């Protein structure tokens, strides 16, 4: 009612206001203590699935190079590449056999150098994935270590000699039995692996290992890369006396994974390597509490720049089950409370990342939005509005800019991911309902987020001329880059506008975040305030019309961006409506 009626007045008012209150139109130059990595938008590329250049069905570096102008057109600042190092690929590159070479499937070091140059020429920074909790069983270090007890690499790993009896239990995420110790007959010992048994954990208590790791990082940083994502970093420190834990220990992994020496190691790493370069660094996972996470990113402690927590993306799964979505659907007040709590804790110091998807998650549209034909576009734009209007550096997953959705495989045979395959076996061994397992995985499996990029309507979505390593989502016919590029109202072009808006609005980066209507079950709304400038983000996370009741005077406001072609109707938000208003 009031908004549309007052619109002409609002426009006149805002023009008048803008001319007479220049001090409120804050610019980035006015911000004290700016950091480029706080202002950046990160675009994550899963190299296997982005673009294949040679028809072998696997995405590669030349494929990424062929799309540099597309990447630039998004307006993003940083590209995070999932691991591209030599790897037997049992966990798609998170099992590294040589940290200083490129996986031949992806190309050569010359290709990498060309990629880095191509990015830098376009003003885009490159962030690499550092997988340092573990390596591959095929790494030279491990091959040496397992060959004899007195091999110089033996202490690069954690061993339990079998003459001491069975090791005290530790939990493994990927093991069918959940057992992190694997017996190796060659030296009659067990080695530790928190992930797959092909991913032996590195022994960070060994200073030689640490120096070797630092030298490897310098090798990449001296090439000119701009950032490091520290994979599974909260697990690197272990109490190497391996004390026994009480029964049910596997549920308490959160209590022991932040080992006693963790922060000494990160501070040493900072001193010896990170502090020498102008880079951004992020810890994947940062403990399980707010205070634990702060330890990684409190600038006084000189560790890392930012952390990403799992509480947001883990929310809404049935506790104690493997990624089974809550049958009651999205509990929006609960979700809002999580984001508000994390934001508040890092308001004065430290910094977080904001994400709803990555290669370890399903597609955000299916998990957090609505992937039906009716609401797909609206809800994809809504989720983008959320990601680009929160405080924290957005980490944006490739393909979400066109609204890719879960492929929802019916058969276990279609899955490639070691996690899903092992958890299936685990469910089978426990006599669980396997049909239920498959149904849950349609929402939550990681392979949903790993299907190839949908470029155009040609065969295999233009991703490859060969057979794709993982099936392409059949909806590429109408969900693809080519179609959306030429449609000014597409999800893709709305995303580009949002990125530009964030780049021109310091309030979206640095402004104070305040939840509005926290108890609403359908509306997610908050303000971002900076130096007298107030932006209001209004999002309807439901397929119903809902009246807003923000208590704010939105009659005097200007729409900065919206996902509906015509103006908001009165105080009612339409299904999945999402807009950012400037309040006066
Ligand atoms: O993927 C997860 C849950 O489905 C996470 O628990 C994940 O295992 C954890 O965040 C660590 O992830 C990283 O290391 C893994 C690798 O499989 C992931 O792809 C990577 O992001 C082991 O290297
Ligand atoms: Ca290829």
Q: Which atom of ligand 1 is nearest to the CA of 284?
A: 10
Among residues 520, 550, 518, the alpha carbon closest in space to that of 535 is found at 550
pTM of the model: 0.94
* pLDDT computed for residue 11 by the predictor: 39
Distance from the CA of 175 to the center of ligand 2, in angstroms? 30
pLDDT at 37 over 90: yes
Ligand 1 atom 15 nearest Cα: 94
Q: Which ligand is nearest to the CA of 52?
A: 2
Q: Considering only CA atoms, which of 27, 127, 117 is closest in space to residue 77?
A: 127
Q: How far apart are CA 176 and CA 156, in angstroms?
A: 25
What is the DSSP code string of 211-227?
HHHHHHHHHHHHHT--E
CA angle 414/418/424 to nearest 5° reads 70
Spatial separation of the C-alpha atoms in residues 406 and 448, rounded to whole Å: 5
Q: Is 94 in the pocket of ligand 1 (CB under 6 A)?
A: yes
CA 232 – ligand 1 centroid, Å: 7
| Ligand minimally distant from the alpha carbon of residue 56 | 2
Q: Is 569 a catalytic residue?
A: no
pLDDT in the model for residue 247: 79
- Identify the CA nearest to 140 among candidates 82, 183, 200, 193: 200
Output the pLDDT for position 252: 63
Cα separations in angstroms, 386 against 23, 107, 389, 495: 27, 36, 5, 11
Average pLDDT over residues 474-484: 97
Cα–Cα–Cα angle for 217, 223, 229, rounded to 5 degrees: 45
Q: Is the pLDDT of residue 21 over 80?
A: no
What is the per-residue pLDDT for 255?
63
CATH architecture of 140-192: Alpha-Beta Complex (3.90)
Domain parsing of the chain, residue ranges: 2-137+203-504, 140-192, 512-583
Nearest 10 degrees: Cα torsion 113, 118, 122, 125: -30
Lookup: tokens for 507:
């309030």
Active-site pick, 91, 95, 201, 284: 284
Catalytic residue among 231, 343, 417, 505: 231
Hey, is 546 helix, strand or coil? Answer: strand
- What's the average model confidence in pLDDT over 266-286? 96
pLDDT bucket at 387, cuts 50 / 70 / 90: very high
Q: Which atom of ligand 1 is nearest to the CA of 310?
A: 10
Question: Quick check: helix, strand or coil at residue 169?
Answer: coil
Digit-coded pLDDT (tens) for 300-352:
999 999 999 999 999 999 988 999 999 999 999 999 999 999 999 999 999 99
pLDDT bracket for residue 12 (50, 70, 90):
very low
| Statement: residue 201 has pLDDT above 80 | yes
**At 402, phi and psi to the nearest 5?**
-115, 5
What separation in Å is there between the alpha carbon of 540 and the centre of ligand 1?
A: 31
Fold of 512-583: Immunoglobulin-like (2.60.40)
Neighbouring C-alpha atoms within 13 Å toward the C-beta of 78: 26
In this predicted structure, the answer to whether residue 574 has a pLDDT above a threshold of 80 is yes
Nearest CA owner, ligand 1 atom 12:
232
User: Contact, 387 vs 393, CB < 8 A?
Assistant: no
- Given a cut of 60, whether residue 14 has pLDDT beyond it is no
- Give the C-alpha separation, 523 to 573, whole Å: 9
Q: What pLDDT, on the 0 to 100 scale, is given for residue 33? A: 86
Mutate which of 89, 99, 134, 232 for ligand 1 pocket (most atoms within 8 A of beta carbon):
232
Residue 495 has pLDDT above 80, yes or no: yes
Q: How confident is the model at residue 25 (pLDDT cuts 50, 70, 90)?
A: low
Residue 184 Cβ inside 6 Å of ligand 1? The answer reads: no
Q: Which helix (H) or strand (E) holds 36?
A: helix 36-39
| CATH superfamily name and code, 2-137+203-504 | Glycosidases (3.20.20.80)
Which of 94, 172, 445 best tests ligand 1's pocket when mutated (most atoms within 8 Å of CB)?
Answer: 94
Atom number, ligand 1, closest to the C-alpha of residue 131: 23
Contact 283, 307 (CB under 8 A): yes
| CB 171 less than 6 A from any atom of ligand 1 | no
The pLDDT mean for the chain works out to 93
Amino acid 286: pLDDT: 83
Whether 250 is catalytic is: no
- The ligand 1 atom at the shortest distance from the C-alpha of residue 232 is 11
Would the CB of 201 count as within 6 Å of ligand 1? Answer: no
Residues linked to residue 131 through DSSP beta bridges, in sequence order: 231
Tens of pLDDT along 396-434?
A: 999 999 999 999 999 999 999 999 999 999 999 999 999
Kindly give the distance from the C-alpha atom of residue 105 to the centroid of ligand 2, in angstroms, as a whole number: 6
Buried b (16+ CB within 10 A) or exposed e, 540-561: bbbeeebebebebebbbbbbbb
Quickly state the pLDDT bin for 85 (edges 50, 70, 90).
very high
């Amino acid at each position: 009612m009031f908004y549309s009626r007052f619109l002409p007045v609002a426009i006149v008012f805002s023009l008048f206001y803008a001319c007479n209150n220049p001090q409120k139109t804050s610019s980035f130059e006015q911000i004290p203590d700016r950091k480029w990595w706080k202002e950046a938008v990160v675009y994550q590329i899963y190299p296997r699935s982005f673009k294949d250049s040679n028809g072998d069905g696997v995405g590669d570096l030349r494929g990424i190079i062929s799309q540099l102008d597309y990447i630039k057109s998004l307006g993003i600042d940083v590209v995070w590449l999932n691991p591209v190092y030599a790897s037997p690929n049992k966990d798609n590159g998170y099992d590294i056999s040589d940290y200083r070479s490129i996986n031949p499937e992806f190309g050569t070091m010359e290709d990498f150098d060309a990629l880095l140059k191509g990015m830098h020429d376009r003003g885009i920074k490159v962030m690499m994935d550092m997988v340092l909790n573990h390596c591959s069983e095929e790494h030279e270090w491990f091959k040496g270590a397992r060959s004899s007890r007195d091999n110089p690499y033996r202490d690069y790993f954690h061993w339990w000699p079998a003459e001491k009896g069975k090791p005290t239990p530790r939990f493994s995420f990927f093991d069918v039995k959940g057992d992190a110790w694997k017996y190796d007959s060659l030296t009659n010992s067990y080695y530790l692996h928190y992930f797959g048994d092909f991913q032996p954990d590195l022994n960070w208590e060994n200073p030689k290992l640490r120096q070797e790791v630092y030298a490897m990082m310098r090798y990449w940083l001296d090439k000119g890369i701009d950032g490091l994502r520290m994979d599974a970093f909260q697990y690197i420190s272990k109490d190497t006396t391996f004390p026994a834990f009480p029964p049910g220990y596997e549920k308490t992994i959160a209590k022991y994974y932040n080992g006693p020496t963790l922060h000494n190691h990160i501070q040493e790493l900072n001193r010896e390597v990170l502090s020498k370069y102008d880079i951004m660094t992020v810890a994947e996972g940062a403990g399980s509490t707010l205070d634990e996470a702060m330890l990684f990113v409190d600038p006084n402690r000189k560790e890392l720049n930012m952390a990403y927590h799992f509480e947001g993306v883990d929310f809404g799964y049935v506790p104690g089950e493997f990624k089974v979505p809550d049958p009651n659907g999205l509990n929006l007040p609960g979700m809002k409370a999580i984001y508000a709590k994390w934001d508040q804790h890092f308001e004065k110091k430290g910094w977080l990342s904001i994400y709803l998807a990555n290669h370890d998650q399903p597609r955000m549209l299916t998990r957090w939005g609505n992937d039906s034909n009716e609401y797909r576009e609206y809800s994809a734009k809504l989720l983008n509005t959320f990601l680009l209007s929160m405080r924290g550096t957005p980490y944006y997953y490739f393909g979400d800019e066109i609204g890719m959705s879960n492929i929802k495989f019916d058969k276990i045979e279609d899955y490639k991911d070691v996690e899903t395959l092992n958890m299936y076996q685990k469910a089978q061994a426990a006599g669980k309902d396997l049909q239920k397992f498959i149904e849950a995985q349609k929402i939550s499996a990681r392979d949903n987020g790993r299907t190839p990029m949908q470029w155009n309507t040609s065969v295999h979505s233009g991703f490859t001329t060969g057979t794709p390593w993982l099936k392409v989502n059949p909806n590429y016919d109408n969900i693809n880059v080519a179609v959306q590029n030429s449609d000014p109202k597409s999800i893709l072009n709305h995303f580009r506008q949002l990125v530009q808006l964030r780049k021109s609005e310091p309030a979206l980066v640095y402004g104070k975040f305040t939840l509005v209507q926290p108890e609403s079950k359908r509306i997610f709304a908050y303000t971002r305030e900076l130096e007298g400038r107030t932006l209001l983000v209004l999002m309807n996370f439901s397929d119903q019309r809902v009246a807003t009741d923000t208590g704010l005077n939105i009659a005097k406001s200007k729409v900065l961006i919206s996902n509906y072609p015509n103006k908001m109707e009165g105080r009612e938000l339409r299904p999945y409506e999402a807009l950012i208003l400037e309040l006066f």
